[in-house]
């Protein structure tokens, strides 16, 4: 199943500075590379962006950060668990051949999250927030103009995002809305013999015995037992 991405709407005019994460991104337990996009709206050209984000480390982990725009200097610090600090610059001090970030709205990059396989017993929406380190003497989330001046809140609007981790429908291996059917058994057989792949949703639903190991032979045996009992 494809991911449907949304972005926080804003009543602020487009001539304001805004950093936002995509919100209400659907994901399933065990899914890797869930994309959370970082979007910039700026009325003026910029030379750089600093972002410090926070997420729930008990539910997800960062698997990668990919940039959609070219930067001369791009550093991601993940040394603090559950947090990512990004420092992005279009120019080094000794180089001017890369142009500044243009005015308008652009996707700077995508943070790819991996969701843990734990059963949360219900759909859970977990935020991706901007974070300010209390021990730093400056704003951690800021824009750097081409003249090296800073744009910080409240002139800069920070809009958090979120990921919705959906509760699996265990036994609905083919994801047709009907769990524990012969069709689910056939689909699982095709997966085990290598002729069928699971989508992230199907993989989550395949953890029939709910032990956190998805698509296992033990799950298949439990599926057959339940279908036969019915």
What is the pLDDT, as a whole number, of residue 93? Answer: 57
Cβ contact 152:146 at 8 Å: no
- Average of per-residue pLDDT values in the chain: 91
Confidence band for 85, pLDDT divided at 50, 70 and 90: very high
Evaluate if residue 39 carries a pLDDT over 50: yes
d(CA 105, CA 116) in angstroms, rounded, equals 32
Please give the sequence-ordered ranges of beta strands (E in DSSP) within 24-90, or none if there are none.
25-27, 34-42, 46-55, 60-67, 73-77, 83-89
What is the pLDDT, as a whole number, of residue 12? Answer: 45
Evaluate if residue 80 carries a pLDDT over 70: yes
pTM: 0.87
Confidence band for 3, pLDDT divided at 50, 70 and 90: very low
Evaluate if residue 137 carries a pLDDT over 60: yes
d(CA 212, CA 229) in angstroms, rounded, equals 24
- The residue that leads in pLDDT, 195 or 2, is 195
First-to-last alpha carbon distance for the chain, in angstroms, is 29
Sorted by where each starts, the structural domains of the chain and their CATH numbers stand as 6-165 (2.60.40.680), 182-229 (no CATH)
Evaluate if residue 95 carries a pLDDT over 80: no
């Amino acid at each position: 199943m494809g991911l449907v991405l949304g972005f926080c709407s804003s009543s602020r005019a487009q001539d304001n500075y805004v950093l936002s994460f995509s919100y209400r991104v659907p994901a399933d337990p065990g899914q890797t590379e869930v994309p959370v996009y970082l979007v910039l709206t700026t009325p003026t050209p910029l030379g750089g962006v600093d972002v410090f984000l926070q997420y729930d480390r008990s539910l997800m982990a960062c698997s990668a950060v990919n940039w959609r725009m070219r930067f001369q200097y791009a550093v991601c610090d993940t040394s603090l668990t559950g947090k990512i600090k990004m420092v992005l610059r279009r120019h080094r001090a000794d180089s001017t051949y890369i142009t500044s970030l243009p005015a308008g709205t652009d996707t700077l990059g995508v943070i790819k999250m991996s969701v843990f396989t734990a059963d949360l017993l219900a759909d859970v929406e977990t935020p991706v927030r901007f974070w300010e380190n209390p021990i730093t003497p400056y704003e951690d989330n800021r824009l750097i103009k081409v003249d090296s001046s800073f744009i910080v809140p409240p002139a800069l609007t920070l809009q958090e995002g979120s990921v919705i981790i959906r509760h699996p429908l265990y036994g609905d291996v083919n994801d047709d809305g009907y769990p524990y059917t012969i069709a689910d058994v056939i689909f699982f057989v095709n997966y085990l013999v290598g002729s069928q792949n699971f989508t992230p949703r199907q993989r989550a639903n395949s953890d029939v015995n709910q032990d956190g190991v998805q698509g296992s032979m033990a799950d298949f045996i439990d599926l057959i037992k339940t279908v036969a009992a019915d």
